Chains A and B, each alone.
Chain A
Amino acid sequence: MTLQGNAVCLGADIDTDVIIAGRYLRTKDRRIWADHVFEDLDPALAARMKGAVIIAGPNFGCGSSREQAPVALKEAGVVGVIAPSFARIFFRNAINVGLPLMECAEVRCRDAAPVSFSPEGGWVEVGGVRHTATPLSARMLDILRHGGLVEYWRRQQ
């Protein structure tokens, strides 16, 4: 799969509290999470999420295990997240809810630049410049292709 979108640049150590604040968690309404995504970082960001490829600094998704964080991003229309490293629980959660992500050490973000990336090919292209990224494992790709762990798991049984 090759995925495409427009770059939204974020910094390092983006924690799950700023992705979706604790005060919005007690609901099952995914639109609420999407509407308030990144609210404490920059309230204008939520409107830029549709078709976005987030390119962030190291340790994206650190902090709590809340799965509402990747769900909020996906629901808001984020195509994928690229960062030099991710907090491990966020990484697993993203794959499990069908949000593509990739580790890429050398990528330079240019806000609003066209981005394409290939989770199996192991590359990210920003504004026409290609960078090497860590390809996802076969199992993770399989989970993503099914749209998440629930569908993958139903198919396996």
Chain B
Amino acid sequence: MSTLSERILGAPAGSFVDRAVNRAFVHDGTGVLTLEAWRRMERERLACPERLSMLFDHITPANNSTTAALQAELRTFAAEQGLHFSDIGGGICHQLMSEGIVCPGEVVVGADSHSCTLGAFGAFATGVGATDMAAIWASGSTWFRVPETIAIHLEGQLRGAAEAKDIALDYVRRLGMDGGTYQALEFLGEGAGSLSMENRLTITNMAVETGAKTGLFYADAVTAYYLGEYGIRTLPQAVGEGRYARELTLDLDDLVPIIAAPHRVDKGAPVTEFEGVEIDQVFVGTCTNGRYEDLARFAGIVAGKKVAVRTIVVPASRSVLLKAAETGVLSTLIEAGCTVGPPGCGPCLGAHMGVLGEGEVGLSTANRNFRNRMGVGAEYYLCSPSTAAASALRGAIASPEGLA
């Protein structure tokens, strides 16, 4: 048997293959250089506009006139070429791709490093840069080196306050920031089957933080039910015994809430080790943890109370925001004193809407805490929505045990 990546790409690990892509997307950041490279290639029409998307999420709405002008150019191009376009407020590219577009078995390429997120559907999904994407615009295909695979067996069930983000922070700390370089991660075992689609997206999102090309879950009944809500019928993917470069087992029964300390994503340790560290700001959102379940969990903990530090909540997409409005989660957040931003990446990449100042300490549900990324001279800790909620109430890092 083969690994899922080998099956989807149709060749054994180590081979170089050229493959047509089922879906390719850019955002307002990477779209700029993609368009520039595309123009230098002197093509008139996109090879396959029906398979291409342009989704504005990184600096939305535009923070200044330079950004606005760059976005206007992309907007015009999208209208001329007739590709799938989502303007400001639509949401994060990976989230929109997960809302009834990407299907199991597909080859998906995004001009963003967290494109590995879509592997949660049993698709081969990975990130590329702008010039690679321009060549995909021109030809509809690209080259891949079929990756070796690291199997991550998820045993048992999540208990207590631990959640999907803690699984992600746990495997990143075990593998390290280059432990998955050039390889794919496959999530297997009964624990994998027990996770919701939203949970799976949180877990595959962070595969790139180990250097991995993608992270995959096998499509199963959970996948079929989720996509069924969008009117898409899918079949489960048979789990076989692939040849794995390395195997790792995480026991979910014993997992506790984890925090990654500044300035490395693999610097994870139990939240209790950081208990009491004072924080200036909490940020809940991003392609890691900006989904409805995340907001609802956060709201469940802060409901009827007031946050003790400034707290920014950014829904991952318009549908997430709408659902939060319909179910009352949104009013709970507002009543608790949270500031709710428009759907998109928010302050994650350090461009706007909540960037920290020199010497400030932030707690974030994002996926990267690199030095200076979310504010020059600031420190950022990464955690789950539940840990963010417990800490927001206290004004210092706090364990969500007993609250979630």
List the interface of chain A (C-beta within 8 A of B): 12-13, 15, 17-18, 21-23, 25-28, 40, 58-59, 62-68, 71, 85-89, 92-93, 96-97, 137, 139, 148-150, 153-154
Contact = CB atoms under 8 A, between A and B. Distances in A.
B129 A89 contact: yes
Interface in B95-115: 111-113, 115
18 contacts: A13-B264, A17-B371, A21-B372, A22-B349, A26-B66, A40-B371, A62-B177, A64-B113, A67-B129, A85-B181, A88-B181, A88-B211, A89-B113, A92-B129, A137-B16, A150-B37, A150-B40, A154-B42
Interface size range on B against A: 35 or more
B132 A92 contact: yes
A152 B200 CA distance: 39
Interface string B122-154: 000001111110110010000100000000000
Contact of A63 (B351, B370, B376): B370
Contact of A153 (B41, B113, B130, B371): B41
B221 to A, nearest CB: 32
A12 B349 CA distance: 21
A4 B205 CA distance: 39
A153 B113 CA distance: 23
Contact of B177 (A18, A59, A71): A59
A92 B44 CA distance: 25
Chain B at the A interface: SS class: loop
Given A59-B211, A149-B37, 10 more contacts: A17-B373, A26-B66, A62-B177, A63-B368, A65-B128, A71-B33, A88-B181, A149-B132, A149-B134, A149-B135
Interface of B: 16, 29-30, 32-33, 36-37, 40-42, 59, 64, 66-67, 70, 111-113, 115, 127-132, 134-135, 138, 143, 177-178, 181-182, 211, 213, 264, 349-351, 368, 370-373, 376
